[in-house]
Amino acid sequence: MGLRTQFNILLLINLIILVWALNHFHQKETTLQFNKQLYSKAQQMHQLAENIRDYTALEITPLLAELSDDFYPQSVGSYSATQTFNSHDGAEVIHQVALQNTQIVRYQANVWQQELINRFKSNNAAMEITDQLTDAKGRFFVFTKPIKSNEQVLGVKVIKIRIERALLALEKANINYLIQIGFLSLVVWLIMNVFMHLIVFKPLQHTSQQAKSISLGNSDITVLKGASGGTEINTIRQSFNRMQNSLKAAMSHLK
């Protein structure tokens, strides 16, 4: 295996390791930032839902009570928040309220929501739960707060954010980054090969050819050029020229 081949194998191994490491840490950082943004957005949406509840309780409920003694679901803060967020099937942010023991079908907890309630019950000090969920409607980032009364968990308030498109955009960005660093690695590989060819391989090949010619009995070899300076290649050339001069001197004495 030639020196050029060994150099390229070693260079490629190092570039592959470098590309893998850069891509790994880049994906780790972008995923971390992505989750932070989702968490921040979920917090904002939860606070917006709380503001809607407060507005409904302070402004809407008293007005409806003055108009009629009948019950209107619009007078319930959770109903208003849910209707505001879930105005259409493709809403990006979905608001849900689930209660453990209720006769109101709208607020009855499904299996997944009951699991959240149980998690809050098992850790009564927990203030929130975040998770990712995949169901028939896609992938969601989930932000959940407990509903409590006298420190007893009665249900949960849930914010679900659709992340399908965001994940596709993140994946596309990661692929573009991988392509970019892959292209840069290719450029580095080409530059290093040109550099090594001009500085190392070509001079060594020329010196090797001259040495081979001398070993075959040809003493009429010109002095190698570019033998000045302190690089290792020039040191080899200087040594070769000295050897050649010594050989010529020895041959002239023999004659």
Confidence at residue 138, expressed as pLDDT on a 0 to 100 scale: 86
Q: What is the pLDDT of residue 217?
A: 59
20-71 pLDDT tens trace: 999 999 999 999 999 999 999 999 999 999 998 888 888 888 887 777 777 7
Q: What are the pLDDT digits (tens) for 206-237?
A: 666 666 666 665 656 555 555 444 466 666 66
pLDDT tier at 172, thresholds 50, 70, 90: very high
Burial class (CB in 10 A: 0-12, 13-18, 19+), 45: buried
148 DSSP β-pair partners: 153
The answer, yes or no, to whether residue 16 has pLDDT greater than 60, is yes
Give me the pLDDT at residue 229, please.
45
Confirm if 227 and 237 have CB atoms less than 8 A apart: yes
Q: Tell me, what's the pLDDT at 188?
A: 93
Domain 3-168: assigned CATH number: 3.30.450
Residue whose token pair is 């959940």: 144
Residues of the chain with CATH 3.30.450: 3-168
Q: Are 203 and 237 in contact (CB under 8 A)?
A: yes
Distances (CA, A) of 144 to 6, 43, 103, 112, 136: 57, 10, 22, 12, 20
